[in-house]
Structure 1
């Protein structure tokens, strides 16, 4: 039987963990998928790719599928701007939220999806209130039996010992870093290093468009959905106005409005406008309870009234494929819930990450099978 050959390019989000973490995650989820279906999936060791990338081969012999999976690396650039010192992060967050107050179209954002507005706004509030409460409550209680200075010092010590754990549990530091980085990205553009990296990725994808593939997917996740739009513009600049019919772009947990709704991000508005008349396939999978994602927000309509791309906007409906006790939900699980797009649930979905990248269905067939689920 002739193999179905798929090429996947994966562009991840703002995460310094990089390829080792994501290769391990893919192997783990492939094994989970195999356990649920009974069909083994073999994931090779990773090897260096030709364009700041890492490649591994995914074999699904029962389905006759072979996937060449290419992870587009930019974690080194993330690591250079990943603020580790909490005091530095707090100071930079002040400028970040001043910038958002000046340039972010919060009213429009709220009309699109109110959840992400809360996700952007709650971190600075909690970053102040949680340390303050951890210091103030024990200090006031101890002040009844100790001098004020002693009670205050103990309160500060209690806050230093416990507030960081709670802030981390509520994803505050990660969201502050994310917001700080994208404030700078909106205001100043990608910068020389990221510009060069996106150009490299575009050349690499264009080089494979006429390769021996039955399907080519550009899969973007989280902040990668923002960069994916700029990457698509560069692909069209290199390739011309039409891509092969077997190429498609998939956005997981899409966050494009984080930049597109900044009035100062004119460079990004130009990228979106440039895609308005381009013909290609785009599928958006964003989950309504994911407070970071913009479910049912078509990114191509943020800077225009029409588009030529063939677009599907879908929820992956994780609640149908997880048992309630295993379903990531609630404030303390926001970060993990945002990674469910890359996981397999307690039952297999036609559009879970392994099914899309290693399964036997083409993208449109997977979407049709998913839509048929009650």
Structure 2
């Protein structure tokens, strides 16, 4: 980290009595109340393990969806107002595709990554997210092969028992039935879910789609409004796909007159990020420019937390450096690991190890053997994000090699 950043961020009082958290979910079609209930359950568990007090209550009346947290940590009372920056309406719309269109999306998405060369560069980062990327392609192809095999068997039997002309109707009916059944149990398989996620990211070859730009405009207006409300810290959190949305949100904010005021104390936390899945694509010029800006700016400390145990994230990949847009005076992000294998007891790790989707949400959950990453102390504790981690060294095993096939910026 540069000395200028250290001086700027640590010169002011880092004590927090009132905090605002703006949370940006990943590609998630569900109502944001699921995050409130997750926070309620997991914060109570962490408070019992770590010996502090924390309580949550829902917001009353109209307005953005959120909740209020009161905590007593290290003997200090802290109040935190949580707000979810909702973009689930976009996700729901992209997930309403029928089965044939989903297979068309599969072919188009695969070609976008392979044809651009991004896929082969992504293979050089981490194996986990690339296995996750290949999983829906494999699973959906397997479902189609299985459906066709059963269709051929059913058609042959029907043709033999009844009449030859019934082969094609029986074949088509069986294929349709098997694929519909697979679609109905996707809440267990996640093949369609992941396929829609990757397809949305690749739809415009990494360019920010108009509906997302509209959301970013709304989010920026909300952030600007919050900075006038007297909070000691405004903490923006981007989880999974929400990480690159957060990068663009804060980059846009810094380009406004309000964004250049040092007294506006903002912090940025990215967790379980999948930034390279977008930033490596040909037309992701806007995102690459935003990463470049956020890496050198002197106002917003940015901490990036992942874990090798999370197979869906680009663990310990510096999103700026691997994209190849790091400026000479790069200061951010501070990259380190949540160390799931050390922060969870052996019994708990054994229980969660193969639950990949659940592990992708572990950053928002309690650790039964916590180290220096505690989501609830970060969001409800008495010090700012940077005060908490200013002396924390970056992980030595982080990846910083420029790998993206495209480095041009908007």
Q: TM-score, normalised by structure 1?
A: 0.84
Counterpart of 1:282 in structure 2 is 302
Counterpart of 1:230 in structure 2 is 248
Counterpart of 1:354 in structure 2 is 376
Is there any run of 5+ residues in structure 2 with no aligned partner, and where? Answer: 1-14, 162-166, 394-410
Shift of 1:39: 3.4
In structure 2, do the counterparts of structure 1 residues 277 and 31 end up closer, same or farther at CA, with 3 Å as the change threshold?
Answer: closer
Within a 5 Å distance, the mapping from 1:1-374 to structure 2 comes to 4-47=17-60, 53-61=64-72, 63-133=76-146, 136=149, 147=160, 159-160=178-179, 163-164=182-183, 168-191=187-210, 193-209=211-227, 211-238=229-256, 239-241=258-260, 243-244=262-263, 246-279=265-298, 280-301=300-321, 302-306=323-327, 307-327=329-349, 328-330=352-354, 333-367=355-389
Q: Deviations over 1:163-204 (max 9, x none)?
A: 45776534211110101111125454220x322221221232
Q: Deviations over 1:298-325 (max 9, x none)?
A: 2222242335434311111122232344
Q: Deviations over 1:39-68 (max 9, x none)?
A: 332111134676xx3232100145411111
C-alpha distance in 2, partners of 1:48/1:277?
40
Q: Deviations over 1:91-147 (max 9, x none)?
A: 222222222222252232222223322221231122112452476489779989x95
- Report which stretch shifted further, 284-293 or 128-137: 128-137
In structure 2, do the counterparts of structure 1 residues 245 and 42 end up closer, same or farther at CA, with 3 Å as the change threshold?
Answer: same
C-alpha distance in 1, partners of 2:269/2:364?
12
Shift of 1:273: 3.1
- Report which stretch shifted further, 91-100 or 320-329: 320-329
In structure 2, do the counterparts of structure 1 residues 364 and 188 end up closer, same or farther at CA, with 3 Å as the change threshold?
Answer: closer
In structure 2, do the counterparts of structure 1 residues 134 and 89 end up closer, same or farther at CA, with 3 Å as the change threshold?
Answer: closer
In structure 2, do the counterparts of structure 1 residues 80 and 156 end up closer, same or farther at CA, with 3 Å as the change threshold?
Answer: closer
In structure 2, do the counterparts of structure 1 residues 347 and 28 end up closer, same or farther at CA, with 3 Å as the change threshold?
Answer: same
Q: Deviations over 1:77-100 (max 9, x none)?
A: 222222353332222222222222
Are the counterparts in 1 of residues 295 and 330 from structure 2 also a CA contact under 8 Å?
yes
C-alpha distance in 2, partners of 1:310/1:269?
14
Is there any run of 5+ residues in structure 1 with no aligned partner, and where? Answer: none
Partner of 1:285: helix, strand, or coil?
strand
C-alpha distance in 2, partners of 1:155/1:147?
16
How many positions carry a matched residue from both structures? 366
C-alpha distance in 1, partners of 2:284/2:16?
44
Shift of 1:246: 4.0
In structure 2, do the counterparts of structure 1 residues 17 and 247 end up closer, same or farther at CA, with 3 Å as the change threshold?
Answer: same
C-alpha distance in 1, partners of 2:194/2:270?
20
Are the counterparts in 1 of residues 306 and 337 from structure 2 also a CA contact under 8 Å?
yes
State the structure with bigger RCO (CA 8 A, min sep 6), 1 or 2: 2
Shift of 1:368: 6.9
* Coordinate RMSD, CA, aligned: 3.4
In structure 2, do the counterparts of structure 1 residues 6 and 110 end up closer, same or farther at CA, with 3 Å as the change threshold?
Answer: same
Q: TM-score, normalised by structure 2?
A: 0.77
In structure 2, do the counterparts of structure 1 residues 213 and 313 end up closer, same or farther at CA, with 3 Å as the change threshold?
Answer: same
Partner of 2:269: helix, strand, or coil?
strand
Are the counterparts in 1 of residues 151 and 172 from structure 2 also a CA contact under 8 Å?
no
